[in-house]
Each structure stands twice: as C-alpha cells, then as structure tokens.
Copies of this chain bind each other. A is one copy, B any other.
Amino acid sequence: MNQSQERIVPAAGLQALEEDIFRKLGFTEEGSRLAAKSLVEADLRGVSSHGALRIPTYAARVQHGVVTTDGPLELIADHGATAVIDGRHTLGQIPGTRAMELAIAKAEEYGVGCVGVCHSHHYGTAAYYAQMAAAKGMVGMSMTNTAPLMPPLGGLKKVVGTNPISIAVPSRRHFDVVLDMATSTVAHGKLQIAAKEGKPIPLGWATDAQGNPTTDAKAAIDGGFLSPVGGPKGFGLAVIIDLLCGPLVGSACGDKLMPAARFFSAPQNCGNLFLAIRISAFRDLDTFLEEVDAYIDFIKSCPTNDTVDGVYMPGELEALRREQRLCSGIPLPEAVVRDLCELAESLGLEPKSYLA
C-alpha cells in the first residue's frame, strides 16, 4: 500500500470510534472520552504525530500492563492555588485534562492555579491543555517531560527529552495565540525523512555520533543526536521542564523516564505541569482582548518578502486547519486508518460503521 495515500474521515466518527476502542480496552466512559478528544483535536489541527497514529501503541501498552485503565485519580497534594494529581500510569490525557480543569478552578478563585501530574504517560499535544485555559479567558501553560533524546553541547549521550511547552493566550476577533514547541530544533521524524530521501539537513538540526554538527541526515540517524533548538537555550529549557515535570511533581526525569513507544517493560512515568492565569484578576478582560486583537493585527500587517505567503501567528495554521477539517473531514494516512481499524476489529468493533 502507498503510505502517502490518504483517507478522509469525519471528526465525529473518529471520536466515536476512538472512544469505543478505549472502552473496549478497559477505560471508563469518561476516560475514553477525554483521551479520544485530545487525539481527535490533534488530528483536526494537523498535528498528526499526536493523533490517531498513537492509538495502536497506547493499546499495546495497555495490553502489556504498562498503561493502567482502572483509575480513579488521586489528589495527593492540594494547597491553596496548587495541587498534584497522581496519574497512576493511565493515559496522560485523563489526569492532564483533570489537572488543567483544577488549575482553571483554582485560578477562578485565586487568580492563578498551578497543578502537577505525577506517574503520567504521553498526554498528546501540550497545546490541548493550554487551549482549555484560553477558552475560559485565561492564559494557559502546559509542559511535559519525555525520555532522553538530546545531548548537551558536545555531548555523546542522550540525557534530556524534547520536552515540549505550550502557552496559549486568548483573543476575540482572531484565533487564540497558541505556542506549542518541542525543545529540539526539529522532530526526529524530519531526520528520518531526509535520510530516506537522501537529502542534506540544515546545520543545527542534529549531530553525528561524535557530537559534531552535521548536514548528513544518515549520520544523524546512525548513532547521531537530535540537537536542542538554539543550542544552550533549547537545552536549558528542556532541563528546566524536566525538573518541573519530574522532581517538582514527584515523577521521573532524565534517564529514569521511560520511552512511550517501542518499549513495553515499564511505565513511562513522565510528569506534567499546568498553569492557568485568570486575566480578569489582572485587567478588564474586554480591554485585554481588544489589545490582543490589535497586537495580532499589527504583527500580521508586517510586510514580507516572497519566500512566505504572509505572517501567521503561533497556532494560526493549526486553527485554520481545524476549521476546515471540522467541515470537510480529517485526511489521515491510509496506514493509520488501517491500523486503527484492525485494532477496532480485534476488539470486536465494526470500524466501517464509524468512518462512513
């Protein structure tokens, strides 16, 4: 089968199918809904690396017992505007959604709320949670750590993850401003694509096995390393996120954190941190939204050369994609649809009835 072939699936049907898959795997009604929603949102926004593609791996991890389905979540710390939820190694989307809801509730009361999750697992896109706060008239922040993928400058061992952070700021006339960035220069997938196509990669994306910056994608893949964005800046940010998602919340960091894919011997044990800042505690919300809209107008009016087709705000392309895909469906690679349907059938579901 041609991997590049796509199939258009309706968002509602995809959500229903994913929910039923999670139910069949043993998750609660609510847990299934939360996990599926985060994944469908990722596919709607075009972040396909964090969508339906992940489900067969999640299912295998449940079947290997390294992802739990039985809950319930436990609040293991709760002081004023802060709290920690024990994720008990279930899918990170479940405690993640609960944690951001709690951070928002705390921000309603105290102006700001900060909630961590320990014993978590891959939680989908960081943006999903930051956007929850933006939808409530708040600034949202979300971050997670991952198993080590990057060395420090000149380093010869993976010591820190590509630990992403998302910050979302609401607007009124425009889409919310949603930054969601990994702390690597690019995703590892881009090295793989370049290596496959025999194309060079820009300096700064990766190093070879000796830790020297390389333009040779094959050298980067064969024993080389992904590089932090901006060198010490991305490395430093990744280290800070590791500390905030590990020691601060009581989860693993560094090499104590396990991979979430192609590894089935132990729970991932990542951590997440969520922050919500209620804008109305600082300023009149309407005034704020007007000023954000005016700022977006200003940024987007920047003249450009002909290498780009205009200026896009952080998260704008994803929001445009989402609007379009809500109407006309989500294009998914045939292989992703096939794997999802095979999983559904193995669980006794009839996937065709969902995706018609």
Chain A residues with a Cβ under 8 A of chain B? 77, 79-82, 84, 109-114, 116, 139, 151-157, 159-160, 167, 169, 177, 179, 181, 185, 202-204, 210-212, 229-230, 232-237, 239-240, 242-244, 246-250, 253-255, 275, 277-279, 281-283, 287-288, 291-292, 295, 298-299, 302-305, 307-308, 311-314
Decide yes or no: A282 and B246 within 8 Å by CB, A233-B181, A254-B295 being known contacts: no
Which of A185, A236, A288 lies at the interface centre, i.e. has the most chain B CB atoms within 10 A of its CB? Answer: A236
The reply to whether A81 and B239 contact each other, CB–CB distance below 8 Å, is: no
B230 touching A152, Cβ below 8 Å: no
26 A-B pairs within 8 Å (CB atoms) are namely A80-B109, A80-B110, A80-B111, A80-B112, A81-B112, A82-B110, A82-B112, A110-B110, A112-B112, A152-B299, A152-B312, A155-B302, A156-B303, A159-B298, A159-B299, A177-B239, A179-B233, A179-B237, A181-B236, A185-B230, A229-B229, A229-B233, A232-B314, A235-B314, A248-B282, A250-B282
Give the distance to chain B from A228, nearest Cβ to Cβ, in Å: 9
Please indicate which of the listed interface residues A204, A235, A281, A298 has the most CB atoms of chain B within 10 Å of its own CB. A281
Q: In the assembled complex, which residues on chain B have CB atoms less than 8 Å from the CB atom of A152?
A: 299, 302, 304, 311-312
CB distance from A195 to the nearest CB of B (A): 21
Query: Which residue of chain B lies nearest to A279 when distances are taken between CB atoms in the complex?
Result: B248
Min Cβ gap A310→B in Å is: 9
Bound form: Cα–Cα A283–B113 in Å: 16
Taking the closest CB of chain B, its distance from the CB of A278, in whole angstroms, is 7
Contacts of A303 in B (CB 8 A): 155-157
Q: Contact check, B185 vs A308: say whether CB atoms are below 8 A apart.
A: no
Give the most central of A110, A202, A249, A311: most B CB within 10 Å. A110
Q: Which 9 pairs show the lowest CB-CB distances between chains A and B?
A: A82-B111, A154-B308, A80-B110, A236-B314, A229-B230, A247-B291, A179-B236, A79-B281, A81-B110
